Amino acid sequence: MSQEIENHDDHNESGNRPFSSVMTRYLSRRRMLQGSLGLAAATLFTDFGLGAAIRQAGADPSNRRLVLGFESLPGSMTDAIVVPEGYTAQVLVPWGTSLDGGNTGWQQDIHMTPAFQARAMGMHHDGMYHFPLDTQHASRDFLLAINHEYIDQTALWAPQGGPTNSDEGARPADEVRTEINAHGVAVVRLRRDDQGHWAPVAGDGHNRRITSATPMELAGPVRGTPWVVTAWSPDGTRVRGTNNNCACGHTPWGTYLTCEENWPEVFTNQGELTPDQARLGINGERGRYGWESADDGEQGEFSRFDNTPRGDDPSKDYRNEARSFGYIVEIDPYDAGSAIYKRTALGRFRHEGCWPGRVVEGMPLTFYTGHDSRNEYIYKFVTKKHWQQSDANRPGEAYDRQAIGARYLDEGTLYVARFDADGTGEWLPLSVDAIIPRGEHKGRRLGELFKDQAGIIINTCDAADLMGATPMDRPEWGTVDPHSGMVYMTLTNNSKRTEEDSEASFTGEGNAAAMGSGYATAPVNAANPRPDNTYGHIIRWQESSDDPTRMRWEPFVFGGSASDADSNLSGLTDVNAFASPDGLWFDERDNGEGILWIETDNGLDKGRENAVAEMTNDQVLAVVPGAMSQDGQPAINAQNQAQLKRFAIGPNDAEVTGIFATPDRTALFINIQHPANWPAADTEDATQAAQGQVRPRSSTVVIQKRDGGRIGV
Ligand code: FEO
Ligand code: CA
Ligand code: CA
């Protein structure tokens, strides 16, 4: 998300060395290693079990069997989508599409109501995934689970000229209810006909809306603790709603993971901030949309967004309400009546998404997550329980998947990443027995500061500060090559990354509430090597085969523009320049190879007026990754950059996000979020520009070849 609700301010006041200062040093140090320690480095590489990565054809594109079969697109800045020759792009389930069909369809001038919005697609489509109803028809009939990240009040309230009392005064209750219902998640059945046309199945029994008011369960270490006691849930086990659901994940047992990102700003606290509120960016002013200002409904329907202590104790007010947000949330898309669980063991912060690692029978499962704020961290969760194939999804059946989820996701070890300048990295456990390695608490256990795992989870970022994690350039999406286990993650940009010889500044300075010491600004480091990282980059890493705390990493590609030569570390050209990488998906194909799809959220707003934003709208790129080179250079560089191709371009002002393809790879699904004047009113052709101004609607887009072949090749 690039507009309106973005607040990736650095609330990290810790003194950890930032990733971008690490990159400049990293690049020079790697060259030194090549000269004098090459043999040792090669041995270490082998020790890290990288054979699976090397099985890829390597940096020489002539060795690759998988070749991108489309011409890279020149930039585009129009109110329409652009796709390569021979492809189509269809608008599918835009905001306001009724899940029930009937006579209550979308109209350009529809006045949105709480009831209609509660049974229609929400706003601002983001992460999404597909769930087959049976194996045979998985590429033409499945359940789509999709996030509705946030709202555009201008579009939502267009017929009445905008929201009421948006900046001061009481918001009308039904406007607030409508806005709450425009957030969350939708599950909708999609079906393709023999002509290649896709449509939602109106009235299907699986269709479901989950909103920022839907009751759900807390699970894992935080459940039932005093941290989350509220007047509505005096035993601290339940909460209403999931909020600002950005990217997503999925599990091998067939559930959808939706991830709470920019939720702190919907809450307020007029009193003194608690350490976790200060660390995550809750403040005492009006909430983002003033939801707390509405005349209250039953049981604190709106006043729960005001976290000011007002009662005699936490069971009499909503001082703890926000502590039930900031989690990975598990949904069973196959059962519209199933309970929903916030899996608190995976940490509490501004979660971008949650990506499953390689799945191996008899081994623990791993899920990767990132905290999208400036100078925040990358995490992974390793399950205590080892994977049993007998737990795998049985498509289309309704049974208790959440019981399986509880076994894997409620117990395990949460780690945070430190990236070192020699190309290795360490995963630092956030557990009660972890020893703090430095600073004023050096030598103490995390449990001494946070008491128990619930305390660590509520204060995840502070615990990560204390353990010495590497502050990153805003971690957005990750993805895993399911064959090799290689992990990719976008680092979208960071205006608070400073020069190597500068001092880190800390968000907690002078703030008695600060427990860790997150960074306001942080100097460059090996993994984040560019000061004021305008263009962003992508890193990748390979886990050690026998030590869950060790990995090796390298820069994969740097965003940049040919017209900004100093920034252009990957040698990009006008047909593949990009900035602010965000969405990612590794699309496994044949013989262990695959396509890495990259989506961008660069836009023209909020200071992203860089050379890329001046020549193209946001986009989808594709590349067939080679093996890790470990030579200190980005994997995509001036010698091989032509393998990175621009596949699609979005309409003006929109970001492109959310991505998957059908199992047969004949249809690629993406989302267009916050367009300015799209889609055109009377066509499903996403490549058509609107006549005049339309009420803009975020939408899914399905891209297919006219001949029905596999996309990308
Ligand atoms: Fe919602 Fe960090 O993107
Ligand atoms: Ca973004
Ligand atoms: Ca994003």
Question: Per-residue pLDDT tens for 34-48?
Answer: 433 333 333 333 333
Question: Ligand 3 centre from 437 Cα, in Å?
Answer: 32
Residue at 366 is within a domain: no
Ligand 1 atom closest to residue 149's alpha carbon, by position in its atom list = 1
Which of the pair, 629 or 163, is modelled with greater confidence? 163
Claim to verify: residue 116 and residue 213 sit in the same structural domain: no
Mean pLDDT value of segment 571-588: 98
- Kindly state whether residues 337 and 212 are assigned to the same domain: yes
The atom of ligand 1 lying closest to the CA of 372 is: 2
Residue 180: what pLDDT?
A: 99
| Ligand (nearest to CA of 658) | 3
Burial level of 168, CB count in 10 A (0-12/13-18/19+)? exposed
What count of other Cβ atoms lies within 10 Å of the Cβ of residue 165? 13
Nearest ligand 1 atom to the CA of 247 is: 1
Indicate the range of 282-286, 338-342, 480-484 predicted with least confidence: 282-286
> Ligand 3 center to residue 496 CA distance, Å?
18
Ligand nearest the Cα of residue 579 is 2
Ligand 1: does its nearest atom lie under 6 Å from the Cβ of 352?
yes
Q: Is 491 in the pocket of ligand 1 (CB under 6 A)?
A: no
- Within this chain, do residues 90 and 222 fall inside the same structural domain, yes or no? no
Distance 249 CA to ligand 3 centre (A): 13
Cβ-Cβ contacts under 8 Å for 3 (sequence gap 6 or more): 152, 603, 605, 606, 653, 674
**How far is the C-alpha of 478 from the C-alpha of 581, rounded, in Å?**
11
CA of 374, nearest ligand number:
1
Does residue 685 sit within a domain? yes
**Rounded Cα distance, 257 and 263, in Å:** 16
* Judgement on whether residues 152 and 54 belong to the same structural domain of the protein: no
Atom of ligand 1 nearest to the CA of 126: 1
Query: Does residue 260's CB lie within 6 angstroms of at least one atom of ligand 1?
Result: no
Tell how far the Cα of 372 is from the centroid of ligand 1, in angstroms: 7
Confidence grade of residue 606 (pLDDT, cut at 50, 70, 90): low
Does 622 have pLDDT greater than 70?
A: yes
Is the shortest distance between the CB of 149 and ligand 1 below 6 Å?
yes
Query: What is the predicted pLDDT for the residue at 1?
Result: 57
Query: 518-561 pLDDT, tens per residue?
Result: 899 999 999 999 999 999 999 999 999 999 999 999 999 999 99
- Rounded to the nearest whole angstrom, what is the distance from the C-alpha of residue 441 to the centroid of ligand 1? 33
User: What is the secondary structure of 336-349 as a DSSP string?
Assistant: TT---EEEGGG--S
Are both 108 and 137 inside the same structural domain?
no
| Ligand 1, atom 3: closest residue by C-alpha | 1
Question: Is the shortest distance between the CB of 246 and ligand 1 below 6 Å?
Answer: yes
* Contact assessment for residue 536 and residue 584, using Cβ atoms and an 8 Å cutoff: no
Instruction: Using the mean position of ligand 3's atoms as its centre, give its distance from the Cα of residue 599 in Å.
Output: 9
Statement to judge: residues 541 and 663 lie in one domain: yes
| pLDDT per position as a tens digit, 358-381 | 999 999 999 999 999 999 999 999
Peptide bond into 531 cis (omega under 30): no
Distance 580 CA to ligand 1 centre (A): 11
Last residue within a domain, chosen from 326, 348, 370: 348
Question: What is the distance, to the nearest Å, from the Cα of residue 516 to the centroid of all Cα atoms in its chain?
Answer: 24
Q: What is the pLDDT averaged over residues 319-330?
A: 98
Atom of ligand 1 nearest to the CA of 492: 2
Instruction: Give SS3 for 446.
Output: helix
Domain identity same for 185 and 265: yes
pLDDT of residue 701: 99
Q: Are residues 164 and 102 in the same domain?
A: no
Indicate which atom in ligand 1 lies nearest the CA of residue 350.
Answer: 2
What's the CA-to-centroid distance between 273 and ligand 2, angstroms? 27
Integer CA distances (angstroms), 395 to 132, 135, 251, 569, in order: 6, 7, 13, 45
Mean predicted confidence (pLDDT) in 562-573 = 94
Per-residue pLDDT band for 84 (boundaries 50, 70, 90) equals very high
Kindly give the distance from the C-alpha atom of residue 288 to the centroid of ligand 1, in angstroms, as a whole number. Answer: 16
Q: Ligand 1 pocket, 372 CB below 6 A?
A: yes
Calculate ∠ Cα 463-468-473, nearest 5°: 95
Q: What pLDDT was estimated at residue 631?
A: 79
Q: Which structure tokens are listed for 497?
A: 């990354």
| Cα torsion through 103, 107, 110, 113, rounded to 10 | 50
Q: How are strands ordered across the β-sheet holding 581-588?
A: 581-588, 594-600, 619-623, 645-649
Between the CA of 477 and the centroid of ligand 1 the distance, in Å, is: 8
Q: Is the CB of 376 under 6 A from ligand 1?
A: no
Helices of type H across 37-120: 38-47, 51-54, 114-118
Q: Residue holding tokens 């047969």?
A: 664
Ligand lying closest to the C-alpha of residue 245:
1
Show the domain range for 156.
123-348
Ligand 1 atom nearest 261 alpha carbon: 1
Q: For the chain, how many structural domains are there in total?
A: 2
Q: How confident is the model at residue 173 (pLDDT cuts 50, 70, 90)?
A: very high
Please work out whether the CB of residue 261 comes within 6 Å of at least one atom of ligand 1.
yes
| N residues, the chain | 713
pLDDT by residue (tens digit) across 186-204? 999 999 999 999 999 999 9
Task: Indicate which atom in ligand 1 lies nearest the CA of residue 352.
Answer: 2
- Ligand 3 centroid vs 367 CA: distance in angstroms? 17
Query: Are 177 and 78 members of one domain?
Result: no
**Residue 446 belongs to a domain:** no
Residue 616, pLDDT score: 96
* Closest C-alpha to 631, from 26, 50, 60: 26
pLDDT tens-digit series, residues 221-267 = 999 999 999 999 999 999 999 999 999 999 999 999 999 999 999 99
**pLDDT band at 569, cuts 50/70/90?**
very high
With respect to residue 77, please indicate whether it lies within any of the assigned structural domains: yes
What is the share, in percent, of the chain residues with pLDDT greater than 90?
84
Give me the pLDDT at residue 394, please. Answer: 98
Mean pLDDT of the chain: 91
- Evaluate: CB of 599 within 6 angstroms of ligand 1: no
- Check whether 279 has a pLDDT greater than 60: yes
Ligand number nearest CA of 536 is 2
Specify whether 57 is located in the same domain as 181.
Answer: no
> Which atom of ligand 1 sits closest to the CA of residue 244?
1
Distance CA 15, CA 519 (A): 6
Mean pLDDT of 150-159: 98
Per-residue exposure over 172-188, b if at least 16 CB sit within 10 Å of its own CB, e if not: ebebbbbbbbbbbbbbb
Q: Report the distance separating Cα 233 and Cα 226, nearest Å.
A: 11
3-class state of residue 474 by DSSP: coil
> Where a domain ends, among 348, 363, 397?
348
Ligand at minimal distance from the CA of 477 is 3
Q: Would the pLDDT of 509 be above 60?
A: no
176 C-alpha to ligand 1 centroid (Å): 23
Q: 665 pLDDT exceeds 80?
A: yes
The pairing of strands 351-356 and 645-649 is unpaired
Ligand 1 pocket residue status of 5, Cβ below 6 Å? no
Give CA torsion, residues 12, 14, 17, 21, to 10 deg.
30
Q: Is the CB of 175 under 6 A from ligand 1?
A: no
Domain stop point among 298, 327, 348: 348
Which segment of 33-37, 88-92, 100-104, 317-321 scores lowest on mean pLDDT?
Answer: 33-37
State the distance from the centre of ligand 2 to the C-alpha of 1, rounded, in angstroms. Answer: 5
333 — pLDDT class (breaks 50, 70, 90): very high
Q: Could you tell me which residues are beta bridge partners of residue 369?
A: 354, 379
The answer to the question of residue 224 being in a domain is: yes
**Three-state DSSP class for 294?**
coil
Residue 667 inside a domain? The answer is yes
Residue 181 to residue 444: CA distance in whole angstroms: 45
Q: Of the bound ligands, which one is closest to the alpha carbon of residue 262?
A: 1
Ligand 3 center to residue 147 CA distance, Å?
A: 11
Give the span between the Cα atoms of 245 and 262, in whole angstroms: 8
**pLDDT for position 37:** 37
420-465: pLDDT as tens digits = 999 999 999 999 999 999 988 999 999 999 999 999 999 999 999 9
Single pTM value for the model:
0.93
476 domain-assigned = no
Residue 147, domain member (yes or no) = yes
Residues 566 and 679 in one domain: yes
Which ligand neighbours the alpha carbon of 583 most closely? 3
Average pLDDT over residues 563-570: 92
> Do 323 and 191 belong together in one domain?
yes
